[in-house]
Amino acid sequence: MQFGANTFIWASPFSTAAHLSLVDHVARLGFDVIEVAFEDPALIDLDALAGRAAGVGLGVLVCGAYGPGRNLVSADPAERAATAAYVRTLIDAAARLGSPVVGGPAYGAVGKTPATDPTARQRERDLAAAELRPLAAYAGERGVRLALEPLNRFETDLINVVEQGLALCEAVGSPHLGLHLDTFHMHLEERDSGAAIRAAGDRLFHFHACENDRGAPGRGQVAWPAVAAALADVGYSGPVVIESFTPEVKSIARAVCIWRELAASQDELAREGLTFLKMLFR
């Protein structure tokens, strides 16, 4: 099992000009992979990132950030087109960096206005499928897979649980589209995280290990033994990535509702989480 750390733990937005040293830092902490949150692709020099990661033997994963203005189910065609262009940029970056997946909730913006009723919500899901179909094909042509992340009910009304994610994948009908599961969201939404992972099966393309309070894995209420057993049962072989957020970046702290320190330091959060995950999956 490989283990990764998301750049959100320390910085937002990630840029190679300001944060390239995080690559070395993540490697020194003992991780195998750095997952880069591409909030603004213009801030990331792919050649510099690839070279630095190769120099320390670290893999790179690409993860999307879908805030306001990046909504694949927007009523505004221009916003949908811009979002699709952003996803294609991430796919191209993943192909350049050797990232097998692009993770994140590409189907719609985090915090978007909820649909007015179930019929309107289904229309948005149908629109998401139509928009994702060519993007999944684009990813497949470049040897990359798109992994859709179900989010909790406070962040989206579209895809909250594995069952809904699988339905969207089925509607798109592409082998290059699957799921990106996150234990933080699963703890809130799934009745049984292990059963949900087993339901995802071979559609599970990517995995985030996050505690129920977004702190270090192993320090809260997530049913970790059940999660580990389910991942083994479905034969998941991708990285397990710790994602958390720094309260020092006020904009991201507001976006994910972090109002207190989750650890003595961000390094401690990453270090304790990694130690726990290595014990869990040994």
Cα angle 150-14-227, degrees, rounded to a multiple of 5: 35
- pLDDT of 262 reads 83
Query: pTM of whole model > 0.75?
Result: yes
Answer yes or no: 149 catalytic: yes
DSSP 202: G
Q: Using CA atoms, how far apart are residues 141 and 275, in angstroms rounded to an integer?
A: 37
Closest CA to 272 of 186, 209, 202, 187: 209
In CATH terms, is domain 3-280 a member of 3.20.20.150?
yes
- Catalytic option among 39, 155, 243, 272: 243
The residues that bridge with 3 in the sheet, in sequence order, are 240
Closest CA to 110 of 39, 169, 212: 39
- Catalytic option among 35, 39, 131, 149: 149
Ranges in the chain, pLDDT < 70: 249-250
Count CB-CB contacts under 10 A for residue 127.
17
- pLDDT of 254 reads 77
Closest CA to 256 of 244, 240, 265: 244
Backbone angles phi, psi at 145, to 5 degrees: -120, 140
- pLDDT of 70 reads 97
Which tens digits make up the pLDDT trace of 129-159? 999 999 999 999 999 999 999 999 999 999 9
Answer yes or no: 243 catalytic: yes
Biggest CA–CA distance in the chain, Å, is 52
The residues that bridge with 180 in the sheet, in sequence order, are 206
Interior/surface letters 76-101, b for 16+ CB within 10 angstroms, e for the rest: eeebbeebbebbbbbbbbbbebebbb
Q: Using CA atoms, how far apart are residues 4 and 8, in angstroms rounded to an integer?
A: 12
Q: Check: CB of residue 110 under 8 Å from CB of residue 63.
A: no
Q: Using CA atoms, how far apart are residues 55 and 239, in angstroms rounded to an integer?
A: 20
Where do the structural domains in the chain lie, given as residue ranges? 3-280
